[in-house]
Structure 1
Amino acid sequence: MKAGMAHLNDNAQRIAEDMIRDAERLRIAVTKGASGECLIDVGASVVGGIEAGLRLAEAAMGGLGRVAAVIDRSGDKWPFGIQVGSSQPVLACLASQYAGWNLSTEDYFAMGSGPARALARVEPLFSTLAYRDRASSAVLLLETAEPPPPAIVEKVAKTTGLPPDKLTFLYAPTQSLAGTVQIVARVLEVAIHKANDLKFPLDRIVEGIGSAPIPAPHPDFLTAMGRTNDAIIYGGVVQLFVTGPGKAARQLAEKLPSRASRDYGQPFAEIFKRFNGDFYAIDPLLFSPAEIVVTAIETGDTFRAGARDVAMLEKSLG
């Protein structure tokens, strides 16, 4: 894809502007930071909500995703879920939505996601992504209860090559309803990211769609994080449409489900405790949907692997 063709930041900027316009209805708060940056609180000191979370997820995907709350009759205790899809899933999920930019300081921790990453291109992941965004403004999401301090704003401005007043930061903690929704909306992203880890050619993934149940938010961070991860690991379903031979599609389907991980089988909060809070000690292959469907569009073959684990969902989601 040619540089600039997808316009990730321009798309996300339009979504952010719509959120600002609808701030009262979405129950979000919009302020200006010390350097002129736009700060949109989607769930920290405000109520926010499901609709705000859906908009947040769409911004995270650089406007290349379709995100909706849907009814799922297969889960009696969790009748509603998040459905997300994209016709440009690699750009939407990896070049934008993936939370891969470490923006931590001594007293502030946040992982940045969203299309500003495609301007900064500081992560190793971008060595495999040819896409380069060009934009006069940038949008970044932070999974945190605090707006970015001046040092973070300055870092983002310097790295993206934009002045602070051209930056928009959207933030919401995991414990909030909007934060919960936008994290569960990463169900497709984790499948694409794992496919990349498995060395499946990204240019052969041409379409993706996924869903996962909406868990109840929880005021405790660890519990909230566990629930959002478990909604995907034990309740997520993703279908990928790929080009190439059926054999490769079958192999991808067999390796993608979360149960292929050595750490599968416990609520995520318990796994996190077992590794003493070291996120990076957990098997990265655990972070994927429970059930995978891969369709080889050139041969017409479809392969399925994994399954949703209702018992594990009951342990975690309640």
Structure 2
Amino acid sequence: MTSSHTFPKPMNKIAANIVSDAISREKELGIITTKIGGATVVDAGVKTRGSLEAGLIVSRICLGGLASVTLTGVQLDHVFLPAVQVSTDYPVESCMASQLAGWRIQVKDFFANGSGPARALARKPKKLFDYLGYSEQSDEAVLVLETDRYPSEDVVAYISSETKVLPQNLYLVLVSPASIAGSVQVSARIVETGIFKLHSIGYDIKTIRYGFGVCPVAPLHPDPLVMAGRTNDMLLYGGSTFYMVEFDDDEKLRGFVEKAPSLASKDYGKSFTELVKIYGWDFLYKVDPQIFAPAVIAVNNVKTGSIFKAGVINMEILRKALY
């Protein structure tokens, strides 16, 4: 596995530079910066409106600065939607060691899912980092919190303790899932979603050399629960991925690819936008975990030249999410 010395700087340092640049463009990006417990807190969509551009920046921060995140577009029926395009030459490091929302932060009554390179310092979750063999050292840490409220000083102290980084060198980026930046950064998880699914079915993700994906951005709705449904539908029924891998056995690889898209789940075909109306926030625990995967996965084995593809874009479900 590629270790941290491959990069000119640790992901936390790269991400800290991205945050500093964003802070210098506060008004343009529609973000607010404040200090809590000594840490720099950047609000990209909790008490502020944010912006599409802020969403792209939050996505790049989540990916540790090791991926390109840009806007493109997709045609869904008669609606032309913005879409996020993600490209990375460091798919495992950027997606699994940074972007994955693998740090559940709960301090008293505050809860948030944590993403970003600070996870590599805190090694959350430890089992994944042990498998990846990835670690880095940094006196700065950057963490993205999916939340609808500001963290307390106790939250800052906890994150500082877990990352072993002083509060004054800690950057916390806040994004509400119901904001435009929140919707963008969820869609920007398209490449990571595919890698996580491959990992969950037993594929050795350390053989992945390149990742690319496109996913529609869910239109906004004032109800955060509806937004949770829409953003999941965009990923699972509208997102496409492409990976380059180095793998020894084409037939085994074909088998993994066939199991990788959302289509392979027994719960495929259920609209998350409709499920949230039935189950509320429990919807995440009422479905087969294998459903959490891109709609389409294509894999190029660079050792043999083979390309395997599975899954489809499901227009019927996307219509339910949009109308």
TM-score by length of 2: 0.94
| Structure 2 match to 1:98 | 100
- Distance (Å, rounded) in 2 between the aligned partners of 1:283 and 1:229: 14
- Distance (Å, rounded) in 2 between the aligned partners of 1:144 and 1:152: 13
Contact persistence 1:90–1:202 (CA under 8 A): yes
1:209-266 CA distance string (max 9 Å, x none): 0011112111101100111110010000001111113223312220111011122112
- Distance (Å, rounded) in 1 between the aligned partners of 2:178 and 2:322: 13
- Residue 275 of structure 2 aligns to which amino acid in structure 1? I
| Structure 1 match to 2:309 | 304
- Candidates 146, 152, 157, aligned match of 1:154: 157
Contact persistence 2:102–2:124 (CA under 8 A): no
Instruction: Give 1:14-93 correspondences, 5 Å limit.
Output: 14-33=17-36, 35-73=37-75, 76-93=78-95
- Distance (Å, rounded) in 1 between the aligned partners of 2:77 and 2:213: 15
Matched, 1:183 2:186: yes
Contact persistence 1:275–1:282 (CA under 8 A): no
Instruction: Give 1:229-240 correspondences, 5 Å limit.
Output: 229-240=232-243
Contact persistence 1:38–1:165 (CA under 8 A): yes
| Structure 2 match to 1:137 | 140
| Structure 1 match to 2:6 | 5
Q: Secondary structure at the match of 2:50?
A: coil
Contact persistence 1:54–1:182 (CA under 8 A): yes
Shift of 1:73: 4.4
Contact persistence 1:175–1:224 (CA under 8 A): yes
- Residue 211 of structure 1 aligns to which amino acid in structure 2? V
Structure with more strand by fraction:
2
Matched, 1:205 2:208: yes
| Structure 2 match to 1:127 | 130
- Distance (Å, rounded) in 2 between the aligned partners of 1:54 and 1:310: 25
Contact persistence 2:129–2:135 (CA under 8 A): no
- Distance (Å, rounded) in 2 between the aligned partners of 1:54 and 1:216: 16
| Structure 1 match to 2:295 | 290
- Distance (Å, rounded) in 1 between the aligned partners of 2:221 and 2:279: 22
Matched, 1:170 2:173: yes
- Distance (Å, rounded) in 2 between the aligned partners of 1:253 and 1:84: 20
Inter-CA distance 54–129: structure 2 relative to 1 (3 Å threshold): same
Shift of 1:76: 3.8
Inter-CA distance 303–75: structure 2 relative to 1 (3 Å threshold): farther
- Residue 53 of structure 2 aligns to which amino acid in structure 1? E
Contact persistence 1:82–1:214 (CA under 8 A): yes
How many pairs were matched up? 317
Contact persistence 2:45–2:180 (CA under 8 A): yes
TM-score by length of 1: 0.95
- Distance (Å, rounded) in 2 between the aligned partners of 1:316 and 1:181: 16
- Residue 306 of structure 2 aligns to which amino acid in structure 1? D
Matched, 1:271 2:275: yes
- Distance (Å, rounded) in 2 between the aligned partners of 1:183 and 1:276: 19
Shift of 1:4: 4.3
Q: Relative to structure 2, which stretch is displaced further, 293-302 or 124-133?
A: 124-133
- Distance (Å, rounded) in 2 between the aligned partners of 1:50 and 1:75: 23
- Residue 67 of structure 1 aligns to which amino acid in structure 2? V
- Distance (Å, rounded) in 1 between the aligned partners of 2:210 and 2:76: 24
Q: Percent identity?
A: 37
Contact persistence 1:254–1:305 (CA under 8 A): yes
Shift of 1:293: 0.7
Q: Secondary structure at the match of 2:304?
A: coil
- Residue 156 of structure 1 aligns to which amino acid in structure 2? I
- Distance (Å, rounded) in 2 between the aligned partners of 1:194 and 1:208: 14
1:116-159 CA distance string (max 9 Å, x none): 00000031322211110111100000111212112211111111
Shift of 1:2: 2.6
Q: Relative to structure 2, which stretch is displaced further, 277-286 or 63-72?
A: 277-286
Contact persistence 1:272–1:282 (CA under 8 A): no
- Distance (Å, rounded) in 2 between the aligned partners of 1:129 and 1:214: 30
- Residue 312 of structure 1 aligns to which amino acid in structure 2? I
Q: Secondary structure at the match of 1:103?
A: strand
- Distance (Å, rounded) in 1 between the aligned partners of 2:313 and 2:221: 22
- Distance (Å, rounded) in 1 between the aligned partners of 2:303 and 2:142: 37
Shift of 1:70: 0.5
Unaligned runs of 5+ in 2: none
- Distance (Å, rounded) in 2 between the aligned partners of 1:256 and 1:118: 26
- Candidates 107, 110, 116, aligned match of 1:114: 116
Contact persistence 2:132–2:206 (CA under 8 A): no
Contact persistence 1:42–1:172 (CA under 8 A): yes
